[in-house]
Amino acid sequence: MPRNDMPIGIFDSGIGGLTVLKEIIATLPGENTIYLGDTARVPYGIRSPETVTRYSFENARFLSSKGVKMLVIACNTVSSISLGAVRKSAGMPVIGVIGPGARAAVSATKNRKVGVIGTEATIRSSAYARAISVLDSSIEVFGLPCPLFVPLVEEGWTEGEVAEMTAETYLKDMRDKNIDTLVLGCTHYPLLKNVISRVMGDEVVLIDSAVETARAIKTALTDLSLLGGGEGSTRHYYVTDSPEKFISVGERFLGRKIEYIEKIELGSEA
Ligand code: DGL
């Protein structure tokens, strides 16, 4: 049986999900968290649905074995492809990032034209378009993969000429669609918010799935009477490749120190 003092388990293909963890800490500072980044097999965004699902099960199983009360899939690619399958087998509440982002986009749009940017796999899955259409089928959704944003952010190039040019090149067609709302459908993209906003213009509302997901987690824990309220919450991290890069890049994503980190093995590596 899940208990309030158990940690929340969060997993991602690598470092990106730390943007979701950052929002969880801001919204629910009293919760203990365990974060798993599958850094040996990142990126998931270029892989087949079968492979993403296999990796997702391994991640979910590992976190279950650590005694978590809830699973958060802090990865748009995994949430797009495997949320249903993980939910069926997890035996605990599972929250993904697509539903919360889609709900926020539906409330924000006035002209019923919404853009979604993400990895190749997320856009190919049409998961955001489906989730938005279930809520309001009159909304037109335009998807666009922006794969180069991920390495750009990991390199720390979130401002400056290269970031501006990349964003301009990807987003110029999106600007022509007359959207008033753009979903940042990838864990890394919130770090490019300033550049994306400059390219798209002030009138386009940017939806940060990480912020929306943290709100959804709070609501779910409240509804299930599973909110933790402890003081001095613990933050544990597990990675599948060496921790050094995760720590240096991750501390920038998270805006805080990463301690208590351990390398683990999961399945067979790609
Ligand atoms: N975390 C992934 C996502 O949000 C981006 C990195 C990857 O391709 O694995 O889609």
166 lines ligand 1 (CB under 6 A): no
Hey, what are 111's tokens?
Answer: 């002209």
Q: Provide mean pLDDT across the span 215-232.
A: 90
Q: From atom 6 of ligand 1, which residue's Cα is the shortest distance away?
A: 43
* Beta pairing partners, 118: 145, 185
| Separation between Cα atoms, residue 209 and residue 165, nearest integer Å | 24
Determine whether the shortest distance from the Cβ of 122 to ligand 1 is under 6 A: yes
> 3-96+211-263 maps to which CATH number?
3.40.50.1860
Measured by CA distance, the residue closest to atom 2 of ligand 1 is 75
Q: Note the pLDDT tens digit of each residue in 120-152.
A: 999 999 999 999 999 999 999 999 999 999 999
Of 5, 15, 1, 7, nearest to 248 (Cα)?
15
**Closest Cα to residue 188, out of 154, 215, 145?**
154
Q: Please give the CATH architecture assigned to the domain spanning 98-209.
A: 3-Layer(aba) Sandwich (3.40)
Q: Kindly state if the Cβ of 109 falls inside 6 Å of ligand 1.
A: no
Q: Which atom of ligand 1 is nearest to the CA of 16?
A: 1
Q: Do residues 218 and 150 make contact, with C-beta atoms less than 8 angstroms apart?
A: no
For the chain, where do the domains classified as CATH 3.40.50.1860 start and end?
3-96+211-263, 98-209
Q: Which mutation among 119, 154, 253 tests ligand 1's pocket best, with the greatest number of atoms within 8 A of CB?
A: 119
**CA-CA distance, 211 to 135, in Å (whole number)?**
19
Q: Which atom of ligand 1 is nearest to the CA of 119?
A: 10
CA distance 247 to 253: 10
pLDDT digit string, tens, across residues 79-125? 999 999 999 999 999 999 999 999 999 999 999 999 999 999 999 99
Is the CB of residue 186 below 6 angstroms from any atom belonging to ligand 1? yes
Joined together, the tokens standing for residue 132 give: 């938005």
- How many residues are present in the chain? 270
Give the H or E element holding residue 114: strand 113-118
pLDDT of the residue at 268: 56
Q: Are 119 and 148 in contact (CB under 8 A)?
A: no
